[in-house]
Chains A and B, each alone.
Chain A
Amino acid sequence: MTHINNLKSTYYTLKTALLTIAFSFVSVFSFANHPTHSTTIDSTLVVAEKSHNSEAKTNNPHDENHGEEKFDINKTIMEHVADAHDWHLWGHTSIHLPVILYTDKGLDIFSSGKFNHGHDVYVGKYNYKNEHEKIHAVDESGNVLENVKVLDFSITKNVATLLISVFGLILIFLTVANGYAKRGIGAPKGIQSWLEPIILFVRDDIAAPNLGKHTSKYMPYLLTVFFFIWFNNMLGLIPFFPGGANVTGNIAVTMILSVITFVLTNINAKKAYWKHIFLPHVPLWLYPLMIPVEIIGIFTKPFALMIRLFANITAGHILVLSLVCLAILFKSFAVGFATTPLIVFISAIELLVAFLQAFIFTILSALFIGMAVNIESEEAHH
């Protein structure tokens, strides 16, 4: 018995030791994975000392010197969640993405490096200035020209990520399709066998129960939207290049997706769907109330889709970033070690949310389309 107990205690000691080592590795990696923050730590630490020493002299927190800005957690998080014209890699290294602007004078295409992180003015057909990732036309003295409309079609960080994910998804699924072409109805292999259950899940558990006999018609859209959202959610969770962008947490992207669902729902809707909206089964005196409610309902459903995906993914990013920023805010490695397990835990939950939100968006799209196209069979039941 004592022998076994000894073994047990040895095992637990080993396990604890291993876990400690693992966590310290994770924290090291997590700092390595957030090069911005590790460098920011260094600079803030230095800045802290510097500002402490030079407080009497300068007394100016918004110094022109880049390294001497005070750490603003709100600004940092918003910068990471929002879109950007540069793709920050580490320290002072970033990829300068192309800026494409359209004004009444025509197109202007140039590198975002020309802005020098918002410090410089680029002279094109107008003079352009990048103010907090929003590009304005300015006059010679740097004042914003309010009457010039600048349409920004730049390849931003999110657009670049979108293109990467589109390329990646095409590569992955052409490989899968090639697997089917090669093996026919034989057993799947490799990535094909890994993705097949998910494709079947989308078909049998998301599309088929809602769409019934119309399933095959909407499968391409549902599969694309599911894998597009999932892939981009996952990509967003990777803290370094080529991840890190908040694509599915951007309202423009979720808006496009929900607009497609909206259009698919309403152009394929059966007569009974419109009848249900404009001639509902209620007493006539309720019509002035019901018809507006039903009409609003057409729009609230995709609107909820758009907000849900955007809010969930953005909230996840903000949560993880806040935890990461804690260590920087407290200027302490101890806090970093303490928050690292929490960051790992939240990231694991975000991994689940990434799948869940893709699933929810797809199943609700299938549900809305299904409600519009299968309404006759529903009517028959009443």
Chain B
Amino acid sequence: MELVTPSIGLLFWSALAFFILLFVLGKFAWKPITQALKEREDSIDEALKSAEVARLQLESLKTDNQRLLNEARVERDKLLKEANEIKDQILAKAKSDAKSEGDKMISAAKEAIEMEKVNAMNQLKTQVANLTVDLAEKILRKKMEDRSQQEVFVNDSLKNITLN
């Protein structure tokens, strides 16, 4: 049958055409194309790999940061605690100091008051004695104005004084 009988001319021309195509495309198209595709794939591969490395580095950096932060936090807590303790200590000491000082002052004041009181008492006593003496003197003077009375008094006194 005509349809399944290959003709010599078409065999020749199609072989020639195909080989020309294969040669030209192979040399000027497929080679640069496949090379460019390969290069692009390699570069993408590399980019992905370096991105992965960068990611890992970032991760380690992050954990480092976290660690440092944690350390700083612990340090801060410790410092705060210490500061609190010191504050408490200072406060307590100040309190006790103030108390003892106050006590001291109070007792000193008390002593001073006591002393003042004694002094005042003594002064009052002297005053009272002086006034009494003055008063007695005045009364005596009044009573001893006339002679008779002086005599009476001396006599009485003499009477009272028993010389034994």
Which residues does chain B contribute within 8 Å of A169, judged by CB atoms?
21, 25
The verdict on A251 contacting B29 (CB below 8 Å), with A170-B24, A185-B43 known, is no
The reply to whether A219 and B30 form a contact with Cβ atoms under 8 Å apart is yes
**Is B63's CB within 8 Å of the partner chain A?**
no
**Is A154's CB within 8 Å of the partner chain B?**
yes
The reply to whether A152 and B13 form a contact with Cβ atoms under 8 Å apart is no
Which of B2-10, B112-120, B152-160 lies at the interface?
A: B2-10
**Is A12's CB within 8 Å of the partner chain B?**
no
The reply to whether B7 and A83 form a contact with Cβ atoms under 8 Å apart is yes
Interface residues on A, range: 35 or more
Among B22, B28, B32, which residue has its beta carbon within 8 angstroms of that of A224?
Answer: B22
The verdict on A199 contacting B33 (CB below 8 Å), with A166-B17, A170-B25, A220-B22 known, is yes
Count B-side interface residues using an 8 Å CB cutoff: 35
B32-43 to A contact mask, C-beta < 8 Å, 1/0: 111111011001
**Is B91's CB within 8 Å of the partner chain A?**
no
A159-202 to B contact mask, C-beta < 8 Å, 1/0: 10011001001100110110011001100000000001001100
Among A134, A156, A176, which residue has its beta carbon within 8 angstroms of that of B10?
Answer: A156
Which residues does chain A contribute within 8 Å of B11, judged by CB atoms?
252, 255-256
A155 CA / B13 CA spacing, docked (Å): 8
- B31: min CB distance to chain A, Å: 8
The reply to whether B9 and A181 form a contact with Cβ atoms under 8 Å apart is no
**Is A144's CB within 8 Å of the partner chain B?**
no
- B80: min CB distance to chain A, Å: 57
A300 CA / B52 CA spacing, docked (Å): 51
The reply to whether A184 and B36 form a contact with Cβ atoms under 8 Å apart is yes
The reply to whether B17 and A153 form a contact with Cβ atoms under 8 Å apart is no
**Is A90's CB within 8 Å of the partner chain B?**
no
The verdict on A159 contacting B10 (CB below 8 Å), with A185-B36, A196-B37, A216-B34 known, is yes
Among A162, A174, A247, which residue has its beta carbon within 8 angstroms of that of B29?
Answer: A174
The reply to whether A251 and B4 form a contact with Cβ atoms under 8 Å apart is yes
- List 23 interface pairs A-B (beta carbons < 8 Å), by A numbering: A78-B3, A81-B3, A82-B2, A83-B7, A83-B10, A153-B12, A155-B13, A159-B10, A159-B13, A170-B24, A173-B30, A174-B28, A177-B33, A181-B32, A200-B37, A221-B26, A223-B25, A224-B21, A250-B10, A252-B6, A253-B14, A260-B18, A314-B3
Given contacts A152-B9, A220-B31, A251-B4, 4 further A-B pairs with CB under 8 A are A159-B9, A177-B29, A228-B21, A247-B14
Which residues on A are within 8 Å of B, measured CB to CB?
78, 81-83, 100, 132, 134, 151-156, 158-159, 162-163, 166, 169-170, 173-174, 176-177, 180-181, 184-185, 196, 199-200, 203, 216, 219-221, 223-224, 228, 247, 250-253, 255-257, 260, 310, 314
